[in-house]
Structure 1
Amino acid sequence: MSAAAVVKGPKLALVIPSTNTSVEREYHHIRPRDLSWHTGRIMIKAPALDSADAFGKFRECLNEALPDALEIVMTAQPDYIVMGMSAETFWGGVAGNAAFEQNVRDLTGLEVSTGATAAGEALKAFGARRIGVVTPYQPVGDEQVVAYFTELGFEVAAITGLCSASATSIADETPETIREAFLAVDGPDVDALIQCGTNLEAVAVAAELEKELGKPVIAINVATIWHALRANGIDDKVVGHGSLLELH
């Protein structure tokens, strides 16, 4: 086949906080049909997350820097926007996530997948109702996550927030810690487990634990990739990263 005959897949802009070191590794492991990820980094000048006030400053910084990150990544002429960050998308419930998505559309003219939307749709795909949640957040962040899922109609049986000290140090949480957190929110009456916080590297842990528990264990990065692929008409069943991409 000549070079001129090569058909490239869609270009997806992957927008992440500058502090994030997990998203790109996990996303590049999952790249069907010559799809390409093109990273835009949101400058985070206030990475601390060790208190409610610090969390607030992080959010302010992220929202202030988001337009510049989008402007830069749009020079790659992507076909779609994928938000490789999730805390802000859970903030303010369903309406808050919808407003966040609309802001991205207004700034780029493109459709977008967010962690909050993807998480909800992934849980619906499995018919889950009662869920256990794992995050790297402080209680102020966990409250927003619980409120969001509750508003969607899910019952949050338990949530474990790891209280990571900064946006960067989230990536330092070990697989053993993540596994223990999942097990802590599981129970015989829990339909599915889900993890939020894109810098918490949980894809491999979730896929392995899912086999042990016999129920969906969903990593936020897998959920968002799945949502973006399906939104772009890519229905490949990708194996090795959990049942969401294999079955739905």
Structure 2
Amino acid sequence: MTTAVRRIGLVVPSSNVTVETEIPALLARHSTARFSFHSSRMRMHTVSPEELRAMNAQRERCIDELADAGVDALLYACLVALMAQGPGEHRRAESAVTEQLAAAGQSPAVRSSAGALVEALSALGARRIVLVTPYLRPLAEQVVGYLEAEGFEVADFAALEVGDNAAVGAIPGERVLAAARGLDRSTADALVISACVQMPSLDLVAPAEREFGLPVLSAATAGAYSLLRALGEPPVLPGAGSLLDPVGGAPHLYDRAP
């Protein structure tokens, strides 16, 4: 019997070159489900409050385009674009997208990178976290405030101070790992190694779990987890960290000293 291909819609910033690589690469690891990917782009070059607001204003056009493709699930794939608008924005945005699609007679699962990170951290049982962001510090602080409004305690964070979104997509993995090594992880339940779908991180998640001995996730792995759950598929992907591979994750995750 042929397995039906599930269509995934991605709403992405025009300068993003990472999410359309990492999300398909992750979901290709699924043991049974098969997926195709369909994107619509919102113009954005600089990660600034002004450009993020202007980008969000293009959302309705993007949703209409993805509705034409008849997607089964949709991911609004820019974490900071929603978190910069204030606490709870992912719920408001997902609700607005759902209503727009319903008006077109469609009911795909609707998720966002911002909401997916909250969902994934909750699934891990993480309450005290540390994170690495590529953003300028004021935006990074808004991300921290957003997560704290969701009930998490951010013990430490890094802001790599990269404002050009194209440059974010070229941040070397070693720089991201170096930032993670500089965080105070002593009381953390989890590390978000990339709180941005544009900052490459997929190849860092499993090595970081082995090095640091605690669950590691990223905006990409959280997005994949949320999409799979929304579609009713087992959220299990080998080699993608404890969130998606609880059996194959770092074997010493729960052997840390208190």
TM over 0.5: yes
CA–CA distance in structure 2, aligned partners of residues 208 and 89 of structure 1? 29
CA–CA distance in structure 2, aligned partners of residues 236 and 100 of structure 1? 24
Q: 1:43 to 1:127 in 2, by over 3 A?
A: closer
Amino acid at match of 1:7: T
Matched with 1:135 is: 133
Matched with 1:100 is: 93
CA–CA distance in structure 2, aligned partners of residues 242 and 191 of structure 1? 14
Matched with 1:207 is: 206
Matched with 1:217 is: 216
Mapping 1:73-222, distance limit 5 Å: 73-109=66-102, 110-194=108-192, 195-222=194-221
CA–CA distance in structure 2, aligned partners of residues 85 and 153 of structure 1? 21
Matched with 1:70 is: 63
**1:236 CA displacement:** 4.7
Matched with 2:3 is: 7
Matched with 1:228 is: 227
**1:7 CA displacement:** 3.0
Matched with 1:239 is: 238
The answer to whether the 8 A contact 2:109-2:231 is kept is no
User: 1:23 aligned to 2:27?
Assistant: no
CA–CA distance in structure 2, aligned partners of residues 103 and 236 of structure 1? 26
RMSD: 1.8
**1:95 CA displacement:** 2.4
In the alignment, structure 2 segments of 5+ residues that lack a partner are: 103-107, 248-258
TM-score, normalised to structure 2, is 0.86
The answer to whether the 8 A contact 2:128-2:190 is kept is yes
CA–CA distance in structure 1, aligned partners of residues 235 and 129 of structure 2? 27
The answer to whether the 8 A contact 1:113-1:228 is kept is yes
More helix by share: 1
Name whichever of 27-36 and 227-236 sits farther off.
27-36
**1:19 CA displacement:** 0.6
Q: Report sequence identity in percent.
A: 27
Structure 1 stretches (4+) deviating beyond 3 angstroms?
Answer: none
Amino acid at match of 1:40: S
The answer to whether the 8 A contact 1:92-1:148 is kept is no
**1:182-202 C-alpha deviation (Å, 9 max, x unpaired):** 222242111111121110011
TM-score, normalised to structure 1, is 0.89
Secondary structure of the 2:57 match is helix
Amino acid at match of 1:84: A
Mapping 1:39-58, distance limit 5 Å: 39-44=38-43, 46-49=44-47, 55-58=48-51
Secondary structure of the 2:129 match is strand
